[in-house]
A and B are shown apart, each in its own frame.
Chain A
Amino acid sequence: MKLSRRAFLKGSAAVGLAALGVKGRRPVLQAFAETKSEGKAMQGSTRWVSTTCQGCTTWCAVQVQVVNGRAVKVRGNPNSKASNGKVCPRAHLSLQQVYDPDRIKVPMKRTNPRKGKDEDPQFVPITWDEALDEIASKMMELRRNNETHKFVLFRGRYTYMRDVIYDKFTKIFGSPNGISHSAICAEAEKFGSYFTEGLWDYRDYDLLNTRYLLLWGADPVASNRQVPHSIKVWGEVMDRAKVAVIDPRLSATASKADEWLPVIPGEDGALALAMAHVILVEGKWSREFVGDFKDGVNRFRAGEVVAEEDFEEKYTHGLVNWWNLELRNRTPGWAEKVTGIPAQQIIKVANEFADAAPHVISWLSPGASMQVRGAYSAMAAHALNGLVGSVDNKGGTLRASKVPARSQLPGYKDYQDEVAKAGTKYPKMDQRGYLEFPALKKGKPGGGVVTNRAADAILNDDPYEIKMAIAYWNNFVFSCGETSRWDKALSKLPFFVHVTTHPAEMTNYADIVLPAADHMYEKWGWLKSKANRYAYCTMNQRVIDPIWDVRIDETEIPWLIAEKLAEKGFDNMLRYFKEQVRDPETGKAPTNSMEFTMYAVKYLTQPLWDPAIEVKGDQLSGWKDFQEKGVWNSVPYPYRKKWGNFETATGKFEFYSETLKKSLKKHAEKHNTTIDGVLRSCKLQATGELAFIPHYEEPYRVGDPEAYPLIFVDYKSRLNREGRSANCLWYQEMKDVDPGDERWDDVAKLNPQDGRRLGIRTGDTIKLVSPVGALVCTAKLWEGVRPGTVIKCYGQGHWAYGRIAARDFQKRLPRGGNNNDILPAEYERLSGSTARHGGVVRVRVEKI
């Protein structure tokens, strides 16, 4: 905090100061301003303001109660048809985040030039002007040297205002490198629905009409996804439907389920295939969706080949192929051996699921897909929805109605000069599209991001050297597997700017730190999401006046940098912002960062609030109305809309994925190899036509079973605000709301059988050692763990996130350990996704 009025300091300080106390003069104020209302206490003003919680990817419309300018309470936005006024515990934790004294308060500059985990950056406060000037100078240097492609914008969590900083800012400057975090989030899950039904997205789930829920590692009352809606209706769901949870740990949802199937990590695919086998052998597939044998006689018998021409498919493609190539041998007896789940339970669950169909859900989550060979597990689990006709159906898995907001600001190409045009022609820096990283987002080779590979790209100058990065709302050195690579990469990066609300591990490597506005309380933005059959748009609003000197990451900061670039002779970006982003109501051009922010939010959301534009959903009367309600709801999603016109190569739901065949072929051709060659490079076992169908792959694990006898399982907390809440007291005080966890601690859970065998007791301090790293935490013996596994929640282990998050901040001792220190940098390469699940790593437990 700098003195804002320094005039009195001029000349002799002592004299100046001595004069201040003299009676008869007015006091000279610094922190205060005088008002005319002396003697009046503040008026008790209370209001509820709509905004958005981004504590997880549900993106709930919420409201905050503000009393005398202070946020005191959070509730679900009652105007939302997706969550109907409900929130989960994460939203409440946000109050402790926004008022965390450990937040970044002013721009800071590193004074220790050495970088590394153990280097103290020796930050000092600087002004916004100084910070922006330094950033713009570095950017101009890149421009002068025709090196704009050596600039990276690392995006973490975002609102849909990302278009400004991630896309337009980066491209007009001249870099192809908008690099998002998506691949550490859940891309492998989207692979499952894309290569069966052509949907690269999360699904919605018709919980209120479902009769059976088959949850593949999903834990909807705690995390991923639509948590408030799930919590709200769970009682009703349990009244009407059976719930089976496939998860090596007893999750919150599993603890309330009818069936718990503690599968051996990584064997989810085998289980799904065996269930498909049972459904076909028992003749319980959907005649309406899938079709039938021409003569109505079921020929699916274990081990036996079926003639393709005997079966007539309706809305699906390749069932018989799938059966002949794979399913016929995937018997429950076989599956029992590989999955550790009794054949009887597999048969029971498959039958009950099929009997309740089509009002059933096979719910895929990162747990069952973000595995090295998880792409095919994801396809298998989602294919069950196709098999019983629950896809796009009542009580089943759904898509979303359209949210007709604008996704992009107007065209920018005219504002790219020659330098920018040349710079953006370079390939992106994260190695997407390399032979071993097909990253087939929406079927396009190299279409998706390979976030965690960016560290290797920086370290090896491959594809080229990186000289500067701006990162916002992320913490890759903590949140990406095998963190030690990020430590080296960020230490190597010559100039790094971290834009963040809280100091994080990544901040430790920054040259400049910029304080960001909190997304829920201090920012302007908008998001779209879905639940309960409604798609919706929800607004991020400035609910309270920020206490500290923060700026909005996605809009204000690009504007402020653009101003500085203009001062230094490159005004294209500022001109673009001024000329192309106008207030839709008045037509005015922005003159400062906040006006720019507001006009951009209004422009992108205009179709939703402008009464002159007709849309399917809520009709709002104007911007003010939208601001007040905070949410726009679509019409409910109609059932069976996609039957017959799925966005696949055949237009059908593909059990034999022609869509995947095309994509893999394209990728193979690009690298002059075969599809088998591509699969081999991606650490997959399949050859030939298996590549195009959901098939069995043995789990891929790092670590020799002799040296590392236990399989490690990572999961997420119901209190994790994306790994950002560990500095909140409530997080630590209530950590035991996660089944098996303890307050103020980070416990690795082992089955009591394993504990006895290894001589480990509850409360022991232990070291988990994997081939790539080690962490220290507390042991707990707990029955909710599959024997042979060690299970630990992600979220603790921060060494730079605030005094509460760390055990001893001064000594950089974390509270517990970060799972990513022992997880290897492995990938589900077909989607580009990080592979942190499915028991990707083995560990040994050492007592210390």
Chain B
Amino acid sequence: MGQLECNIRAQNETRANLYRLLSLYYYEPEKELIDKRALSFLAAEMAQVCPEGAKYAAELTEEANIGEIEDLRIDYAKLFVGPFDLLAPPYGSVYLEKRRRVMGESTLDALRCYQEAGLTMDRYFMEAPDHIAAELEFMYYLSFQDLDNESVERQKYFLEHHLGAWVEDFTALVEERAETNFYRHLARITRLFVNADQVYLEKLLIDLPVR
């Protein structure tokens, strides 16, 4: 294994960790995920691929200013669940189709991507298929696959047409409307990482040894 491939593998592991972890943060807040260790891990992994985003993660760790989990639950509900004003709808279709609906054409395209990769929605996942948590998890899943042109192209397509295409608008809403530091920072970290990853994948396509 050459140095380049080694680096790519290491980087990929970090990417997988980050996509996985960020995905989990878009479920209802869990104590184990907002403790210092989990957040330090987030900061450390971010530092590998996106130093700017790592700052925010580090801030969350150091300041330990997460607050009460009850406050996070209320903020989480207002941002992503409702009822009443859903402050930051966590659905791709809302941004990509601009009609404030779920299950649009873009949602079906996301589903198609999942199916092509051999995935279906889990029966206990009671959300729209283009929920931010699902799209982040899908990227986690893809970054597990063997690194070849096809796999990278698949990831690039998904970022271009889905996650990467709406992460900007979505995280802007979270940043603007969240009442807790945690969700404001999470939005920033998500945006910075996904954007950085798009740049990385572009570069990777050039660097990747042709097989």
Contacts and interface: CB of A to CB of B under 8 A. Distances in A.
Nearest to A549: B126
Interface string A619-659: 00000000000000000000000000000000000000000
Task: From A6, A17, A546, name the one whose CB has the most chain B CB atoms within 10 angstroms.
Answer: A17
Interface in A115-173: 122-125
Contacts of B12: 21
Given A30-B122, A503-B82, A547-B128, A14 B37 contact: yes
Interface stretch (A38-46, A214-222, A325-333, A817-825): A38-46
Nearest to B117: A38
Interface in B145-195: none
A32 B138 CA distance: 8
A547 B84 contact: no
A412 to B, nearest CB: 33
A803 B86 contact: yes
A726 to B, nearest CB: 13
Interface string A17-33: 11011110011111111
A40 B115 contact: yes
Contact of B133 (A1, A26, A68, A502): A1
Contacts of B63: none
B70 A124 contact: yes
Interface stretch (A99-107, A530-538, A594-602): A99-107
B84 A2 contact: no
Interface string B80-120: 11111110010100100001111110011001101111111
Given A30-B24, A32-B114, A18 B17 contact: yes
A531 B195 CA distance: 58
Interface string B1-30: 000000001001110110011011001101
Given A105-B81, A105-B82, A507-B83, A9 B30 contact: yes
B74 A124 contact: yes
**What is the interface of chain B mostly: helix, strand, loop, or mixed?**
helix
B41 A17 contact: yes
A96 interface: yes
B119 A3 contact: no
B121 A22 contact: no
Contacts of B124: 4
A37 interface: yes
Nearest to A513: B83
A654 B95 CA distance: 62
Interface string B21-48: 1011001101011010110110000000
A23 B23 contact: no
Given A31-B133, A101-B94, A108 B77 contact: yes
Given A101-B89, A106-B81, A547-B103, A32 B137 contact: yes
B17 A20 contact: yes
A3 B30 contact: yes
Contacts of B133: 1, 30-31
A32 B114 CA distance: 9
A12 interface: yes
Interface in A489-509: 502-503, 507-508
B115 A42 contact: yes
B32 A31 contact: no
Contacts of A334: none
A108 B83 contact: yes
Contacts of B23: 30-31
B119 A2 contact: no
Contacts of A70: 103, 107-108
A111 interface: yes
A800 B84 contact: yes
Interface in A373-431: none
Nearest to B37: A14
B203 interface: no
B99 to A, nearest CB: 6
Interface in A73-96: 96
A13 B61 CA distance: 14
B211 interface: no
Nearest to A37: B118
A261 to B, nearest CB: 42
A100 B140 CA distance: 28
Contacts of A503: 82-84
Contacts of A20: 16-17, 20
Task: From B24, B101, B138, name the one whose CB has the most chain A CB atoms within 10 angstroms.
Answer: B101
Given A29-B141, A30-B24, A111-B70, A124 B77 contact: yes
Given A1-B133, A809-B84, A13 B118 contact: no
Nearest to B113: A41
A96 B99 CA distance: 9
Contacts of A30: 23-24, 27, 122, 125, 133, 137
Given A13-B37, A800-B84, A2 B28 contact: yes
B120 A33 contact: yes
A290 B114 CA distance: 73
A729 interface: yes
Given A3-B27, A14-B37, A100-B101, A23 B118 contact: no
Contact of A3 (B24, B74, B82): B24
A35 interface: yes
A810 interface: yes
Contact of A18 (B30, B41, B104, B120): B41
Contact of B108 (A14, A17, A68): A68
A239 interface: no
A32 B128 contact: no
Given A4-B124, A33-B122, A21 B108 contact: no
A70 B109 CA distance: 12
Task: From A14, A105, A549, name the one whose CB has the most chain B CB atoms within 10 angstroms.
Answer: A14
Contacts of A27: 16, 140-141, 144
B127 A547 contact: yes
Given A13-B37, A101-B94, A503-B82, A803 B100 contact: yes
Interface of B: 9, 12-14, 16-17, 20-21, 23-24, 27-28, 30, 32-33, 35, 37-38, 40-41, 70, 73-74, 76-77, 80-86, 89, 91, 94, 99-104, 107-108, 111-112, 114-128, 131, 133-134, 137-138, 140-141, 144
Given A38-B116, A802-B85, 10 more contacts: A13-B35, A21-B16, A21-B20, A22-B13, A31-B23, A34-B118, A100-B102, A102-B85, A111-B70, A729-B100
**Leading 3 A-B pairs by shortest Cβ distance:** A38-B118, A503-B83, A809-B85
11 contacts: A29-B122, A30-B137, A32-B122, A35-B119, A70-B107, A101-B91, A108-B77, A507-B84, A548-B127, A803-B100, A806-B85
